[in-house]
Chains A and B, each alone.
Chain A
Amino acid sequence: MPAPSDDVLIERKKLKVGVETVSNQQSTDFPGHWPGESHEWDLNHFKNNMRIEFNHEHANKLDLTFSLIGIDTSLANALRRILISEVPTLAIEDVFIYQNTSIIQDEVLAHRLGLVPLRGNRDALRWLRWYQKDEEVPDHEPKSDENCVRLSLNIECRWKEGGLEKTKQGVTDPDELYENHNVYARDFSFEPWERQTEKFGDDGVRSSHPDILVAKMRPGQHIELLMHAFKGIGQDHAKFSPVATATYRLLPTIDILKPIVGADAKKFARCFPKGVIRLDKVTSEDASAHEECAGKEGDAKAVVDNPSLDTVSRECLRHPEFVDKVKLGRMRDHFIFRIESTGQWDSDELFLESIRLLKVKAARIKRGLRRIDALVQ
């Protein structure tokens, strides 16, 4: 049986997007699916066909877009799931409130504090251990400098000098009247203990977004509290998730089956976001090759420019003039991955960590697997 041509292989990898249906979603690269083809797992084949291309990285290194090409959905999805729920991060877990006379209730305040993303020296964060919080276990690991980061917040709202007089004059802008009426994440102070002073250095542990508004106060109100931050995973609570989003989408494909020319071409381009369709001129070759182009030399002709910008809105399928002229789809093995970190780790570090954790998962099952020969008799 002849090996399938490249065109056939590409066609197999395309999800077909119809007006109201999506078909050909399932992977078929398994032994026994296609007669006469192997599809057996082959590391070298994977090595040769898998590609990663970086597309965009924000200057702060927190927002990263890259393409993962030549990999199955089950693996891309495993990495995405690990990024969201299994990469450990540090977040505030215990809050000890000594004074809170603001209008925001203790438990609401504590919840808000927990959601504040933290950052600090990466090596020190790596050095931190997992804290097993379970008071019922008698000899559970105690809180120590190795698993607990302490932060404090002590802030009181006061009248500014001359603020009272200003109120009498009818000024209502709180910025002019009060001091500390907004409590921000930048007001946290790091309370290092033992080895933490040296490990975390001068910057200490602070919020990765200092402008997060935690509470609002009025003169005379006072918040005084101590926070304990631990390492945890997103599976336990979303505050431990290292990413704001970790998503992927499949690369859209647009196949123009018959030439779309003239006014239709402009209309066609407007069915897509900017940059997806380009308008070229009909050449003399086009004019002789296709009847649709005959005598229309120099007119506009729709050409696919950058399909990755498409949102696959399927707008072009609504218009009768494009029926049977265009086919929409998506490449099943081309993932446009986007990782937006909350700030504790850089996005590229997070992705590498997610691969490492997947490998650890497999390694742990492998070493836990005992051949139960008695059972197999």
Chain B
Amino acid sequence: MAAKPIIQGQEFPVITPTSIKDIDEIPVSIDQERVHVLPGSTKTAASFQFDGEDHTLGNALRYIIMKNPDVEFCGYSIPHPSEAKMNIRIQSYDDADVFDILEKGLQDLMDMCDVVTEKFTIAREEFHSNKMQS
């Protein structure tokens, strides 16, 4: 299991299944504790470390960040297989801020999820109504 940060005497798993209740139930401080900027980072070239994340988010985020024309390089790695950590490196062209790029990447990923949900729901309805007719 992933490493667990202790917050206010209570343990929360880094990856909390959120389907039970809303994401707002998980204190923001937990997420702030698990997002790190690695030493040596600058405004245009930074490495981030996310505790409790893996290839699931890593590869998807890498793809969507690479779609940004301000990005010169983006790559991710899992530094060690037995540590639940994921590093992502972003280098930007000109003076583009890597924080903006990362935020845009995450937002784009969320927008994409909404589109897939919408398309899936429509396709499911169509399939079921066609089934009814035939």
Contact A364 B60 (CB under 8 A): no
| Residues B18 and A365 in contact, CB atoms below 8 Å apart | no
**Cβ contact within 8 Å between A88 and B20:** yes
Chain A residues, Cβ within 8 Å of B10: 137, 139-140
Instruction: Count A/B pairs, Cβ under 8 Å.
Output: 183
Asked whether A43 lies within 8 Å of B68 as measured between CB atoms, the reply is: no
The answer to whether the Cβ of A263 comes within 8 Å of any Cβ in the partner chain is no
Chain A residues lying within 8 Å of B96, measured Cβ to Cβ, are none
When distances are taken between beta carbons in the complex, the residues of chain A under 8 Å from B112 are 43, 46, 75
Chain B residues numbered 77-122 whose CB sits less than 8 Å from any CB in chain A:
99, 102-103, 106-117, 119-122
Cβ proximity bits A27-38 to B, threshold 8 Å, 1 near / 0 not: 101111000001
Q: Does B134 contact A (CB under 8 A)?
A: no
Q: Determine the distance from Cα of A294 to Cα of B85 in the docked complex, in whole angstroms.
A: 65
Given the contacts A358-B60, A359-B110, A369-B102, A236 and B31 also touching, CB distance less than 8 Å = no
Which of the residues B9, B20, B61, B102 comes within 8 Å of A126, measured between beta carbons?
B20
Most buried by B among A41, A47, A75, A375: A41
Q: Which residue of A lies closest to B8 (CB)?
A: A139
Q: Is the interface of B mostly helix, strand, loop or mixed?
A: helix
Nearest Cβ distance between residue B54 and chain A, in whole angstroms?
8
Please state if B103 and A52 are interface contacts (CB–CB under 8 Å): no
A40 touches B126 (CB 8 A): no
For A370, give its contact among B17, B18, B35, B119 (CB under 8 Å). Answer: B35
Closest chain A residue, CB of each to CB of B121: A352
Establish whether residues A52 and B60, one from each chain, have CB atoms under 8 Å apart when the complex forms.
no
Q: Evaluate contact between A54 and B20: CB separation under 8 angstroms.
A: no
How far is B15's CA from A360's CA once the two chains are assembled, in angstroms? 11
B17 CB contacts on chain A under 8 angstroms: 86-88, 130, 231-233, 357
Residues of B within 8 A of A361 (CB): 53, 56-57
* Size bin of chain A's contact surface: 35 or more
| Chain B: minimal CB distance from A175 (Å) | 40
The one of B63, B102, B115, B116 that contacts A74, using a Cβ cutoff of 8 Å: B63
Let me know if A352 and B120 touch, CB within 8 A. Answer: yes
Shortest distance between the CB of B133 and any CB in chain A (Å): 14
Asked whether A362 lies within 8 Å of B120 as measured between CB atoms, the reply is: no
Q: Interface digits, B41-63 against A, CB 8 Å rule (1 contact, 0 not)?
A: 11100000010011111011111
B126 touches A356 (CB 8 A): no
Chain B nearest CB from A124 CB (Å) reads 12
Give complex CA distance A375, B42 in Å.
7
Nearest-neighbour CB distance to chain B for A367, whole angstroms, equals: 6
Tell me, rounded to whole Å, the shortest Cβ–Cβ distance linking A85 to chain B.
8
- Given A31-B67, A126-B20, check contact A376 B42 (CB 8 Å): yes
Contact between B60 and A139, CB atoms less than 8 A apart: no
The CA-CA distance from A204 to B66 in the complex, in Å, is 49
Contact (Cβ within 8 A) A132 B108: no
Residue of B whose beta carbon sits closest to that of A32: B69
- Which 3 A-B residue pairs are closest in the complex by CB-CB distance? A368-B31, A54-B127, A41-B67
Can you spell out 18 A-B residue pairs with CB atoms less than 8 angstroms apart? A43-B108, A52-B120, A52-B122, A68-B116, A74-B63, A75-B112, A82-B56, A126-B19, A348-B120, A348-B124, A355-B117, A359-B113, A361-B56, A362-B106, A362-B107, A362-B113, A376-B42, A376-B43
A interface list, Cβ under 8 A from B: 27, 29-32, 38-41, 43, 46-47, 50-54, 57, 66, 68, 71-72, 74-75, 77-78, 81-82, 86-88, 126, 128-130, 132, 134, 137-140, 231-233, 235-236, 348, 351-353, 355-372, 375-376
Q: What residues make up the interface of B, taking CB atoms closer than 8 Å to A?
A: 1-2, 9-13, 15-21, 23, 26, 28, 30-35, 37, 41-43, 50, 53-57, 59-64, 66-69, 71, 99, 102-103, 106-117, 119-124, 126-127
